[in-house]
Amino acid sequence: MRVLKQTSRTFNIPINLLKPTLKKTVASAYLCMRAIDEIEDHEQLSSDTKQQLLRETAKLLKTDFDQEAYVKLVKPYETVLPEVTLRLGDWIEVCPQGITDKVTESTAIMAEGMAKWTEKNWIIHTEEDLDDYTYYVAGLVGVMLSDIWEWYDGTQTDRELAIGYGRGLQAVNMIRNQKEDAERGVQFIPDGWTREDMFTYAKRNLKQADEYIKVIKTRNILLFCRIPLALAKKTLKAMENGKEKMSRNEVEDTVEDIINKK
């Protein structure tokens, strides 16, 4: 939970509101995906090194994860990689056995997709490219969470809508980080698209998130799903009004409103 708090402001809040079993499961699953995300985003690693680490990690995730082999793989980079990445084996170990395979499967697919887009230098030309990239880096989070809900209490959710939910959250991040991404030579906006087009893309996918949560009856899960969605919508609105992001007070008030909502 300490590492979770260090790596995610958005998901740390709703994860901590989950009941113990779900909290442990979602936290470990999130940290598995965050571990490989830190490789893709790393500023000091070369493109070739990122691709190699991501592809080799994916291979390990597709079998009974060999902790010794993973430690050996990341050892040359242990001084630059963050704790969340170096301890991937720990996150897999604390994940409850009945759901571990689904978590490692989604994480492996994500790692392969990230390696592919690292090789392409994250240059997106078309909406299809954007859909493909956002599927790997965020849509798969939605798929994995849907698997966890079903394992936990039989909650059935639409995997396609889950992908849309993830895409919507990622699109909001892309809009927010557009300037920083451009400065490091990365373009997540398709050719010919304006910033307005990206807002439209984000809103269209967040509507799928609205549909996704309609069928959820377990209050604990519903609460978890509502918080990132509400924060994403309000962040979009803030950016449309010329702000960079929501204030800390706005975030706290939004979370409080959702918790108190019947």
pTM, two decimal places:
0.93
More confident residue, 154 or 180: 154
Angle at the Cα of 70 from the Cα atoms of 66 and 76, rounded to 5 degrees? 160
Token pair for 251: 């975030």
Nearest to 258 by CA among 216, 205, 222: 222
Instruction: Say if CB 43 and CB 261 are below 8 A apart.
Output: no
Token pair for 39: 């490789």
Cα separation, 130 vs 121, whole angstroms: 13
Instruction: Say if CB 114 and CB 137 are below 8 A apart.
Output: yes
Average pLDDT over residues 67-76: 97
Taking the CB of residue 43, how many other CB atoms lie within 10 A of it? 6
Instruction: Say if CB 138 and CB 166 are below 8 A apart.
Output: yes
User: What letter would DSSP give residue 244?
Assistant: S
Residue 185 has pLDDT above 80, yes or no: no
Residue 56 burial (C-beta neighbours within 10 Å; 0-12, 13-18, 19+): middle
pLDDT per residue as tens digits for the range 119-158: 999 999 999 999 999 999 999 999 999 999 999 999 999 9
**Residues 157-187: b if buried by 16+ CB within 10 A, e if exposed:** bbeebbbbbbbbbbbbbbbbebeebeeeeeb
pLDDT band (50, 70, 90) for residue 174: very high
> Given the structure tokens 């790393």, which residue do they identify?
42
pLDDT per residue as tens digits for the range 24-71: 999 999 999 999 999 999 999 999 999 999 999 999 999 999 999 999
Instruction: Say if CB 149 and CB 155 are below 8 A apart.
Output: yes
Q: What is the pLDDT of residue 252?
A: 80
- Work out whether the CA dihedral 155, 159, 161, 167 comes out positive or negative: positive
Nearest to 113 by CA among 27, 202, 37, 183: 37
Task: List all residues 6 or more positions away from 174 whose beta carbon is below 8 Å from its beta carbon.
Answer: 181, 188, 189, 198
Q: What is the pLDDT of residue 79?
A: 96
